[in-house]
Chain A
Amino acid sequence: MDSENEKTLVEILEPNIQVDLAKYIKFVSNPQSGAIATFSGTTRDTFEGKIVVELRYEAYVPMAERQIKSICSSARLSWSLEAMAVAHRLGSVPVGETSVFVAISSVHRDDALDACKYVIDELKASVPIFKKEVYANGEVWKENSE
């Protein structure tokens, strides 16, 4: 589609910039769409029984952007999608705040829902972003098991 680039927004956010959910939902909203599916990944307070203070993210930024755009293009081959927005925050993400957000609109709901799951799964599997979990008594680089 000619306007695919205009309808796909990928942002790797610098530290201390919160993920603005409303902005991305607005980006994917349009009169042609009947459905918007979103996914937020948020910092939770415990991991395997240990108390998490915060997560710290870093990324190979230009490659991460490129990979995410590639995932979005791939999703458009599998589903009929209108607009897509993917944002990932860097630096410290305190408990309860959003680290990653995916928003996708489509004419019919299955496309947006299934593509949303695909995009977050692929992002976690292949995009060079790295998370350090900071506990009260230490810190560790994480590895996505999936």
Chain B
Amino acid sequence: MDQFYGIFLYIISLLTMGGIYAILALGLNIQWGFTGLFNAGIAGFFAIGAYVSAILTTAPSLRHLGGYELPYVVSFAAAMVVSGIIAWAVGKVCLKLRADYLAIATIGIAEIFRLILKNETWATNGPRGVSMIPKPFETLPEPWNHLCFLGLILAVIVVIYLLLETARNSPWGRVMTAIRENEKSAMAAGKDIEKFRMEAFVAGCMLMALAGAFIAHYLKFIGPNATDPLTSTFLVWVMLVVGGSANNRGAILGAFLMWTIWSASEILTSRLPDELAIRTAYIRIFLIGLALQIFLQRFPKGIFPEVRPKPERRQSVSDGVTDNATSR
């Protein structure tokens, strides 16, 4: 009985973390899937959200800025707003860059955020992090506390999903796709590309901050190590690519699926002799990387391929050699 109840609790935790990652993946999907912006600094915006919400809700502490004890609604909104403002500033300077440059720039910015979180001890308690963060519904009896928290996350995902689907099928979404596919022709059609890209970047980063806020309350603790690039940036990319970029259902499915594999695979490897179990921890990381490669090569569209809002046939651009082919 205990065994089944335990597994039930574990599944709740899988869904909770998977849900938080789904929010991250949806945020990335707006940026990469719909608009073609290569954000490799997910961890940075995730961290901003986590710290803002943590600092606004904790009780007074000598170790870090805090003591505001604001309601969650306020802290979550603040997390998103702060992240949105920072994203706007970052976007202002970085969005003009081509995808590769944007990737390098964002990865650099995320590292700078991390250094700030580690060094500005007065606000963040530096590397020791913010502890005793309240968690919604934690006063309810088990398992209702876990279930309600999960329910909240799932509800948020549904809302985001519906919003994004509406947006995707709106003229805004079609312009986004046009920008991703062919920037020049979109520009020629008189669209203010920079503005659209900025909107997508800011919206995506706000979702990442929302996910960050959830993680801070879920863990009840946030420190710089919780925002390392491996699990906060890279894993999200794998989730989106595997699930199917430019497809919101794909992003959500990819997140739940990859998190389950990431987490549950250890239950198996922990049964190995320890010397091997220690080493196989690295094999798990290797396999995640390999999964990405396999999907990129064999199933580049992911599990749920992109579904176009409106089937409009677009002339596919053939290889670069023929770029100026259609002229004259």
Our verdict on whether A and B bind, yes or no, reads: no
Q: Interface residues, chain B, CB within 8 Å of chain A?
A: none
* Residue ranges of A at the interface with B (Cβ–Cβ < 8 Å): none
